[in-house]
Amino acid sequence: MTETHPNLLATAVRVELPSDPAFDAIREAGKDGFLEVAARYPESSLVWALLAEACLRDDRLEMSISAYAYARTGYHRGLDALRRNGWKGSGQIPWEHVPNRGFLRCLWALSVAAGRIGEVEEQQRCAQFLRDSSEEAYRALAQ
């Protein structure tokens, strides 16, 4: 994908989110417990990303719609967390900082799910946002 606009995120600012409050609960609950963890920790982008990714393993329309909804929820929760932690709509969100991965994974899942339901503009916008935020995340998730 070629860039058609200046990368407003490519600044020296780096945002590192605090530890995800649901991380331990996710590990303890396992994949069969993600819904319960989401109910207990709705602010966790990671749990929404995991739910979206699970849905994306099945390409039926109802699963793509569910993935889209989960990913969009996690994406918005992640934006809230980023803003609370000094992000002003620009700057890097590094993949190597593990607490950032929930948001970045939601962004990728939202791009994939959007593509599956025909939201091409949203698919491209989210993929570019991910690349602008963390090229490393884009490479890791797009494999």
pLDDT at 9: 46
Whole-number Å distance between alpha carbons of 8 and 2:
15
Cβ contacts of 5-12, under 8 Å, gap ≥ 24: 7/132, 8/89, 8/90, 8/132, 9/90, 9/91, 9/92, 9/93, 9/129, 9/132, 9/133, 10/92, 10/132, 11/90, 11/91, 11/92, 12/91
User: How is residue 86 written in tokens?
Assistant: 């000094």
Are the C-beta atoms of 45 and 74 separated by less than 8 Å?
Answer: yes
2 has pLDDT over 50: no
Query: Tell me: the pLDDT tens digits for 3-13?
Result: 554 444 455 68
| Whether pTM exceeds 0.85 | yes
Query: Tell me: the pLDDT tens digits for 82-134?
Result: 999 999 998 899 999 999 999 999 999 999 999 999 999 999 999 999 999 99
As beta bridge partners, residue 14 has: 92
Query: Tell me: the pLDDT tens digits for 18-28?
Result: 999 999 999 99
